[in-house]
Copies of this chain bind each other. A is one copy, B any other.
């Protein structure tokens, strides 16, 4: 298993390019100065970027290379899901130590590739740089959406139902368990929470199913925890969001984790957690049909709040909780 130092940048890039699946709409692919891509007629493009930094966003012992790649893809896919965009093309920029194993690098890319491919996207370009400290993996992802159809954070209006997919807080609970229990968190009883943290799924299928209904007025993905991301939607939409804490989905795993960690379950539900679920503002009276459309793609969707005149997040039935700030915490 050769190291990057031994094979060199150009050979490593060639191996990476050879291993990639071809994408659709690619006029000129990897290997030229840039990739040339053909968006569909009447489509707008949707662009996001997010990075995974060793030691900061993942603990190497908890995330094998393919899962790192999958997670990197998911972080970016989730942004496109929140805009109701179809993922199409990605560039992968990597800062790697010279002792990085070439096979591990190929596995990392495979994780990205295999997460993107079923959703219709492919890696079309990239960059490789030697670093000395922590490694970093940076993805830029381009999607497409019909002109004017993208969801925004700012579209919620007073009266809208605020719905959330899945059960927020599970990823944060998994991370806290891994930090607290170390190897003990590999116990099967924590398996599903640990997996929610290690291997989140972006809600592309959900937004694809809901876009045609026309009932979604605003969306944001859950990357910092329910409290922080509800606050963002409230601010962007200039509405108050009145949360009914009693309406949060029942989740025995979170209750068990809270007991184990000696904290309130509400702190797990509302606090820092990158679940990559979606928060949606749904037109009044459309919540049940939307929940049915979601269940057809295997996703549960719960009304947890209403938008109202005013500002900020109003909590009913429990305490507030702060989001997570990478620099100040």
Contact = CB atoms under 8 A, between A and B. Distances in A.
Interface of A: 4-10, 12, 27-28, 31-39, 41, 44-51, 53, 55-57, 78-80, 82-83, 85, 89, 91-93, 95, 98, 124-134, 136, 138, 140, 142-143, 145, 147-148, 150, 152-154, 219-221, 236, 325-328
11 contacts: A7-B327, A8-B327, A27-B150, A33-B220, A36-B44, A36-B46, A37-B47, A38-B44, A47-B125, A95-B95, A133-B133
A327 B33 contact: no
Given A36-B45, A152-B32, A128 B53 contact: no
Contact of A37 (B44, B153, B325): B44
A299 to B, nearest CB: 18
Given A36-B150, A95-B136, 18 more contacts: A8-B325, A9-B325, A12-B327, A27-B147, A28-B150, A31-B153, A32-B152, A33-B78, A33-B79, A34-B143, A41-B41, A49-B125, A49-B126, A49-B140, A51-B93, A56-B129, A129-B136, A142-B142
Contact of A328 (B9, B134, B219): B9
The 6 closest A-B pairs by CB, nearest first: A133-B133, A140-B140, A34-B48, A8-B328, A33-B82, A49-B91
A48 B125 contact: yes
Contact of A327 (B5, B148, B325): B5
A154 B35 CA distance: 13
A91 B140 contact: yes
Q: Which of A27, A79, A85, A128 gathers most chain B CB within 10 Å?
A: A27
A153 B7 contact: no
B325 A10 contact: yes
Nearest to A41: B41
B327 A47 contact: no
B328 A5 contact: yes
B326 A33 contact: no
Contacts of A95: 51, 53, 95, 136
Contacts of A9: 325-328
A128 to B, nearest CB: 7
A261 to B, nearest CB: 24
B47 A34 contact: yes
Given A9-B327, A131-B133, A327-B98, A27 B44 contact: yes
A32 to B, nearest CB: 5
B131 A56 contact: yes
Contact of A136 (B55, B83, B136, B325): B136
Nearest to A223: B33
A12 B236 CA distance: 18
A248 to B, nearest CB: 22
A132 B55 contact: yes
Contact of A82 (B8, B34, B134): B34
B28 A35 contact: no
Contact of A83 (B34, B55, B93, B129): B34
